Amino acid sequence: MEYFAGIDVGSLTCDVVILDGARRAVACDIIATGARARAAAERALNSALTKAGLQREQLGALVATGYGRERVPDRSRSVTEITCHARGAFHLFPHTQLVLDVGGQDCKAIGLDGGGRVVEFAMNDKCAAGTGRFFEMMAGALEVDLDDFGALALEAEARAPISSVCTVFAESEVISLVAEGERVENILAGLCRAAAERVYRLAQQVGLAKRITLSGGVAKNAGFRAALEELLGVKVEVPEEPQLVGALGAALLGAAGETP
């Protein structure tokens, strides 16, 4: 049997999915990218191959995506994140009309047609506002474990007003709110709302829809998810492992033998 791997080399993590010929996932892995994208890609792929009990020679294709996709050695080809996230999300949720991907340092809104093809997209890749890096920095400023961020935000009595999702300005606001005695949970809820508003504006640029998939590491933040759903007016669909959507899409493209 032939196997197909997709690797998404992002700013914070390097993600791998390996599929068999029936498009079933046989292994996956997520590791920190760090300062050396090429080395991280090698480690992530080798780890996934070991989990699957495979040798690299058994891969029929290795498709790379993400900002570091050109750093992946021995790749069959590289494909943009937009295409891969669209393919991965549509595979998981075949009725998806809009994909919102909130990654480590960028946000994307991707509109799809009925066949899962990209028809429009908008992307914030010039600033880390409202991304995973933003939440990391805010968690540090409030001395909160990042994994607890969303759950604590849902315990808020009221949202503290946060006027900016620029990391520098938002941190200054957070410090001021703490000095004023504001509850941490309220500040977290305010940060989630501010980040959700930024993603919502991207969605508006592409066109709002009823069937929406949320991907990327920030999708795990329950407070952010709730704030975004409130703005959108619909429940979003979240994959079991939202960080792997891009890698899954890349592997699917490899399995299909497509060159987008």
- What CATH number did the domain enclosing 72 receive? 3.30.420.40
Model confidence pLDDT, tens digit, residues 14-52: 999 999 999 999 999 999 999 899 999 999 999 999 999
pLDDT of residue 164: 84
Buried b (16+ CB within 10 A) or exposed e, 194-229: bbbebbbebbeebebbeebbbbbbbbbbbbbbbbbe
Model confidence pLDDT, tens digit, residues 46-100: 999 999 999 999 999 999 999 999 999 999 999 999 999 999 999 999 999 999 9
CB–CB of 130/224 below 8 Å? no
Q: Which two tokens stand for residue 31?
A: 């590791």
Q: Which two tokens stand for residue 149?
A: 């961020």
- Does one domain contain both 31 and 119? no
- Does one domain contain both 111 and 156? yes
The count of domains in the chain is: 2
pLDDT of residue 144: 97
- Does one domain contain both 108 and 201? yes
- Does one domain contain both 46 and 120? no
- Does one domain contain both 155 and 225? yes
> What's the chain's Rg over C-alpha atoms?
19
| Region for 66 from its dihedrals, namely left if φ exceeds 0, alpha if ψ lies in -120 to 50, beta otherwise | left
Model confidence pLDDT, tens digit, residues 201-229: 999 999 999 999 999 999 999 999 999 99
Instruction: With a cut of 70, say whether residue 258 has pLDDT above it.
Output: no
Pick the closest to residue 98 from 118, 84, 123 (CA basis).
Answer: 118
**What is the secondary structure of 190-259 as a DSSP string?**
HHHHHHHHHHHHHHHHH---SSEEEESGGGG-HHHHHHHHHHHTSPPB--SSGGGHHHHHHHHHHHHT--
- Does one domain contain both 229 and 179? yes
- Does one domain contain both 21 and 130? no
Instruction: With a cut of 80, say whether residue 127 has pLDDT above it.
Output: no
Instruction: With a cut of 80, say whether residue 259 has pLDDT above it.
Output: no
CB–CB of 150/220 below 8 Å? yes
- Does one domain contain both 125 and 209? yes
- Does one domain contain both 255 and 190? no
Residues 6 or more apart from 116 whose CB is under 8 A from it? 86, 87, 90, 91, 94, 96
- Does one domain contain both 13 and 78? yes
- Does one domain contain both 109 and 81? no
Model confidence pLDDT, tens digit, residues 148-195: 999 999 999 999 999 888 888 888 999 999 999 999 999 999 999 999
Which residues constitute the domain of residue 110? 95-238
- Does one domain contain both 104 and 221? yes
Residue position matching structure tokens 């508003």: 197
- The pTM assigned to this predicted structure is 0.94
